[in-house]
């Protein structure tokens, strides 16, 4: 069903391009604040980067479609502190570092000149996944990092909502929240635990 919805959205974008009044292309980059949803508990935000290319297809004075291709650093962080035994004050920090190529298709409505609201579907393709454990207060225990790509689903579906503002000279700013619909956990040992990607992103870009 999700694949069907995204296919329809892509076909609509192609159709809208043929009817476009104006098409602008652009680049953007910014900050991600990523975390996990569904069954995830006591996790912390993992900061990361987003960098992408986009096209704004203006259909009317107030309405546009904006497909993008974005490299996005996501994941989460979890801290465990120990207060018993001979490791009082010790701390273990677990970080999931997942990188995606995301393809959002945002419908944009300009409330007035410059200010717009955005919403739409997104499909993401996993390109890298690493899990890192850092230890503090554990004598002789080294930090560890492993390749964990096999523990995550390779495709992730999400929906997004956000707000943007076009500044003079082609510069724009935007803020979005992306809510994951897919259970990204593909680890057989924890197959009963459902996890999803949730990301707040802030971007600065330029359209030409």
What tens digit of pLDDT does each residue of 146-180 get?
999 999 999 999 999 999 999 999 999 999 999 99
The CA-CA-CA angle for residues 48, 162, 17, to 5°, reads 105
What tens digit of pLDDT does each residue of 93-129 get?
899 999 999 999 999 999 998 999 999 999 999 999 9
- CATH top class, domain 2-207: mainly beta
- Can you give the pTM of this predicted structure? 0.86
What tens digit of pLDDT does each residue of 21-71 get?
789 999 999 999 999 999 998 899 999 999 999 999 999 999 999 999 999
| Cα 89 to Cα 83: distance, rounded to the nearest angstrom | 6
- 191 vs 98, which has greater pLDDT? 98
Q: What is the pLDDT of residue 5?
A: 46
Q: Where are the domains of the chain?
A: 2-207
| Cα 187 to Cα 98: distance, rounded to the nearest angstrom | 14
Q: What is the pLDDT of residue 154?
A: 97
Mean pLDDT value across residues 194-201: 98
Q: How many CA atoms lie within 13 A of 113 on its CB side?
A: 2
Full DSSP string of 171-184: EEEEEEEEEE-S--
Q: What is the pLDDT of residue 17?
A: 57
Q: Is the dihedral of CA 26, 160, 175, 193 positive or negative?
A: negative
Residue 12 tokens read as 């609509």
């Amino acid at each position: 069903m999700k694949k069907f919805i995204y296919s329809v959205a892509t076909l609509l974008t192609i159709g809208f391009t043929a009817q476009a009044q104006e098409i602008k292309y652009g680049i953007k980059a910014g900050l991600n604040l990523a975390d996990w949803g569904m069954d995830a508990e006591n996790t912390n935000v993992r900061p990361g980067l987003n960098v992408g290319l986009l096209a704004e297809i203006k259909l009317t004075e107030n309405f546009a479609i904006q497909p993008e291709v974005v490299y996005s650093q996501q994941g989460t962080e979890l801290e465990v502190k120990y207060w018993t035994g001979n490791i009082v004050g010790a701390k273990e920090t677990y970080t999931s570092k997942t990188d995606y190529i995301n393809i959002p298709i945002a419908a944009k409505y300009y409330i007035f000149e410059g200010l717009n609201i955005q919403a739409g579907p997104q499909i993401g393709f996993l390109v890298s996944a690493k899990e890192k454990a850092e230890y503090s207060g554990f004598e002789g225990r080294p930090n560890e990092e492993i390749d964990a790509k096999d523990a995550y689903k390779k495709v992730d579906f999400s929906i997004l909502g956000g707000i943007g503002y076009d500044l003079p000279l082609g510069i724009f700013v935007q803020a979005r929240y992306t809510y994951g619909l897919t259970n990204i956990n593909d680890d057989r040992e924890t197959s009963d635990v459902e996890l999803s990607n949730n990301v707040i992103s802030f971007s600065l870009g330029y359209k030409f």
